[in-house]
Amino acid sequence: MQRRQPFVFSRADECPTVLRARLQQWGYLFFRGYVPGDTCDTLLAELVAQTEGQVALDGASGLPRLTGQPFVESDPDWDRIYPRVQALESFHGFFHSASMLELMQRVAGGEVFLYPMKMARISTPGKVGHETPPHQDAYSHHAGPTMAGIWVALHDVHETMGRIMVLPGSHRQGVRRVFSASGVGGVQCEVFPHETTWHVADCSRGDVLIFHSATVHKAEPNTTTDTVRMSVDTRFCDYGAPVFSTNLEPHHGWRIEGLDWEHIYRGWQSPRLQYYWRDYPNLF
Distance CA 182, CA 269 (A): 39
> What burial class does residue 275 get, using C-beta atoms within 10 Å of its C-beta: 0-12 exposed, 13-18 middle, 19+ buried?
exposed
pLDDT of residue 231: 98
Q: What are the E-state strand segments in 64-134?
A: 64-66, 112-114, 119-123
Distance CA 161, CA 223 (A): 6
pLDDT of residue 1: 80
* Residue 243, SS3 per DSSP: strand
Measured CA to CA in angstroms, residue 122 lies from 48, 125, 129, 162, 228 at distances of 10, 10, 15, 10, 7
164, β-bridge pairs = 219
Residues 6+ apart with CB under 8 A from 256: 79, 82, 83
Backbone phi, psi, residue 220, to 5°: -75, 160
**HEC readout, 191-208:** CCCCCCEEEECCECCCCE
pTM above 0.95, yes or no: yes
pLDDT per position as a tens digit, 107-130 = 999 999 999 999 999 999 999 999
SS percent in the chain: helix, strand, coil, step 5: 25, 25, 50
By C-alpha distance, which of 240, 17, 213 is closest to 111?
Answer: 240
pLDDT of residue 100: 98
By C-alpha distance, which of 185, 205, 45, 215 is closest to 119?
Answer: 185
pLDDT per position as a tens digit, 97-113 = 999 999 999 999 999 99
Cβ–Cβ under 8 Å, residues 71 and 77: yes
Residuewise pLDDT in 10s, the chain (284 residues): 889 999 999 999 999 999 999 999 999 999 999 999 999 999 999 999 999 999 999 999 999 999 999 999 999 999 999 999 999 999 999 999 999 999 999 999 999 999 999 999 999 999 999 999 999 999 999 999 999 999 999 999 999 999 999 999 999 999 999 999 888 888 999 999 999 999 999 999 999 999 999 999 999 999 999 999 999 999 999 999 999 999 999 999 999 999 999 999 999 999 999 999 999 999 99
Instruction: Write down all domains in the chain, each with its CATH number in brackets.
Output: 5-260 (2.60.120.620)
Distance CA 138, CA 171 (A): 10
